[in-house]
Structure 1
Amino acid sequence: MCSSEVRIGHTLNETERQHVADRAWTVLQCLQQLGISCSVTNFDWSIKLTSFFPKRCDVRFSYNFCDYIDEHKLSDQRSKYTTTDPYPIYTVIDKKSKHDGLHADCWFEITPDESGYSLTGAFVDSSCWGSQFENGQKIKDQAEIDMLFLQGNTPQMYYSISIQMVTHWIWGTTYNYVYKMEVPSIHPSILSSEKRAFVDAGLLNNSPYFSVLRQERDIDLIISLDFSEGDPFQTVVDTAKTCTELHIPFPHCVVPTGENTEPNDFYVFAGSTDTPTVIHIPLFNCINCPGEVEKWHKIYTTFQMEYTESMISDLLNKAGSNISNNKENLLREIKYIMEKKKAKLG
């Protein structure tokens, strides 16, 4: 049975806080093995470099086959991850908020423990996200949302049902747990809506920065592995613009002239004392695809119907090379950020 109350506030849920604390020792050992010195007194902030694993969720309709339908409940993941695993954060966007230009109310995060609006601060136990609420109290239980909701892929046997879902936008629609509440930080149009529809976060931004940009997560470094088709800098530039509008600390992003089509494989958008640094690594670049960046983008298009085994293998090799080729660069930036943090702490 899920909690019957909605939580209004910006603090992290207790399970996430505990996982981050437990994971700190694992991260500390990893840093030491890589030759990065970090004492027990300052490792607490060092985990902010690596503790979160935001995932952009596809909740759109797709015509292709699924290998399987994942009917596990999201809450089934609770306590299944170990200290070697980042805390899982899935991200979708509120469809109507996007349409209305309510940037602070767009971003919705889903974790095994709690789900809610990342920036405006309204959360509910994930096991009852989808149940019917009114004025902050649950009034009717509904079956817990399963992982198929996040997969967003529907096999052919559900084809006719899914067409109806897409036509009437049923897919991705749930009861609104803040319905008829009074929450100053949330736009009134959301509070007066009995149901809300959620869609693929890529329709707004292909990288889910805003879940980790919650102030209480206190992030020092974001490593952005960008896989966008088209301009490889659009995600980070758009995020910088939105952060300026919403007064969220984020580095200023200046893209070198002429590198939008043939990007390098490693960029650093440095933050100030209170602003996170972003390391930006385009998937296809002039290092792992010399002279063939456009060719590789054409092979792996946004609306690719399926991937063969060889395509998956080739893609993993390209993605892996971006890390192996930049191991020293990554370690250098981590060391630099740690030294800067130490100096700030005195």
Structure 2
Amino acid sequence: MHVWNGLDEVPEDFGPSVVTIGNFDGVHRGHAAVLRRIVDLAHGSDARAVAVTFDPHPLQVHQPGSAPELITGLADRTELLAGTGLDAVLVLEYTLDLARQTPEQFVVECLARGLRARTVVVGHDVRFGRDNSGTMETMVALGREHGFDVVPVDDVGQAPGADGPGADRWSSTLVRELLAAGRVDEAAAVLGRDHRVRGTVVHGDARGRELGFPTANLGDVVGMVPADGVYAGRLVRPGRLARGEADAVLPAAVSIGTNPTFDGDERRVEAYVLDRTDLDLYDEEVVLELVQRLRPTVRFDGIDPLVAQMHADVALARAVLGRAGNA
């Protein structure tokens, strides 16, 4: 799959294409179902399937104080989009200049000229162009003028336990709510996979090593960090995974929180790879996949009860991952 960071990277001879537009945060099951339809539509008509997305999220530009926390960073988003079978993703830098484009300017420059769209697939509630003035009706009218069809698409699916046909549809908002509550297993049901965060392993306080549980501390974490607590999960080493090397995916117990037993005030994400004390992960980029929350973060009255609980956490993480076929 091609990833283009701007219209200037799109080949001049690219097209024709079937295009959809969206933020696709999390690339949840609803996104994936729609994108697979686009791939089928494109490949059934000798065209290319393309998703147009934005970085940063538009609300981070227009309302930075109230913008949603992103479920996935751009690297994970494009990787997940590739998994749907798309031929290309066009990442547009979202700026105030882009936001000031009229609906027609956006359609002409991006869809008609840039991607040579034959078909544009969008939701009924699509909004685009200056002040979100472009609507579905606008897109249809511009399609007639500039040579592409417009196919409306409905939201796909709903969350487990939803009450009624429109309740709790698969959405990025729902995923954020579940992660904020630590319900990563329920979030996985909407995402279609375990939630992941990414970061580079940095030096910490080395307390875990002193207690017999050396941890990989993540710095510059990308992806929404769920509620504080201890989780069963996996530590993935993308470089090794791409090369097919050993120790690329490792079962882990993940701690998220401030280490209240030691009066910590900095929120951290750290992972103990089960039964391994020989790994040197410093300065390596890793991905943590979170399978299930085991317990909330609590303060212990001393080292001995903390260590006893850590042994219990590891045993429980091993059992949970074993049931999931990961330990």
Greater share of residues in strand: 2
TM-score under structure 2 normalisation?
A: 0.26
Larger Rg: 2
TM-score under structure 1 normalisation?
A: 0.25
